Amino acid sequence: MIITIDGGVASGKSAVGRRVADKLGLPFIDSGLMYRAITRLTAERAISPHDSDAVTRLAESTRLRIDGEHVWADGKELTEGIYDTDYADALPVISAIPGVRNALVEQQRRIGAGGVVMAGRDIGTVVFPDADRKFFLTASLEEKVRRRAAQYGRRGERVDEEAMRKEVEMRDRVDSERPVAPLRPADDAVILDTDHLDVDEVVERILEGVRAPR
């Protein structure tokens, strides 16, 4: 079974996806970690995020592996610091490069072919358009900022909520407006407003949708 969970920044898709996958005995893949890994490698190799050809070659030549919250590139783990704000400006630029998306979509399809719960922004529309079940999570800007601040706080990082608000707004706007694989719900996705639901409640609603007859 292939289940897709899409949504914008801090919509809860990763936390929800992990629990749904655990309940169903399926692997969970957070596709966003793949884009973050390529962004980090780009910075480490002093490649400009605006050099689309060079970044595309990097994405095409890098073998990524995801296991829960951990990510490896060509056997080297990149998990520590993968969410560093140093990469915040480059991430949406790199994520919008068509060649990068094509390269990572190919890897995502290969990884998830045997059954998966995969979270991202274009999983139900581009990566697995024929998925068995599709969900799209939404949340208000205020709730997204609260969740994002809590994520950073759990990692012991200092939080500037105003800067975080601008980052969340920018990421969702750029992801929604990009010409390639924009952030949007698939026509056959179940849309869940998560503002007043905790993670367990969202998980239960998704499981109900998965178990419901088609």
Q: How far is CA 151 from the centre of its chain?
A: 15
Q: What is the dihedral of CA 183, 10, 5, 19, to 10 degrees?
A: 170
Q: By the 8 A CB rule, do 180 and 103 touch?
A: no
CA distance 51 to 25: 40
Amino acid of residue 128: F
Strand partners for 6: 120, 136
Is the confidence at residue 174, as pLDDT, over 90?
A: no
C-beta atoms surrounding 80 within 10 Å: 8
List % helix, strand, coil for the chain (3-state, nearest 5).
Answer: 50, 15, 35
**Percent with pLDDT over 70 in the chain:** 100
Residue linked to tokens 């289940």: 3
Residues 6+ apart with CB under 8 A from 28: 17, 18, 20, 21, 22, 68, 116, 117, 118, 119
Amino acid of residue 110: R
CA distance 12 to 71: 19
pLDDT at 143: 92
SS3 70: strand
CA distance 96 to 101: 7
Reported as a single tens digit per residue, the pLDDT across 46-104 is 999 999 999 999 999 999 999 988 999 999 999 998 888 788 889 999 999 999 999 99
Q: Which domains does the chain have, with CATH numbers?
A: 2-197 (3.40.50.300)
pTM for this prediction: 0.91
> What is the residue-averaged pLDDT of the chain?
93
Q: By the 8 A CB rule, do 172 and 91 touch?
A: no
The confidence band for 158, taking pLDDT boundaries of 50, 70 and 90, is confident
CA distance 12 to 73: 25
Averaged pLDDT for residues 22-43? 97
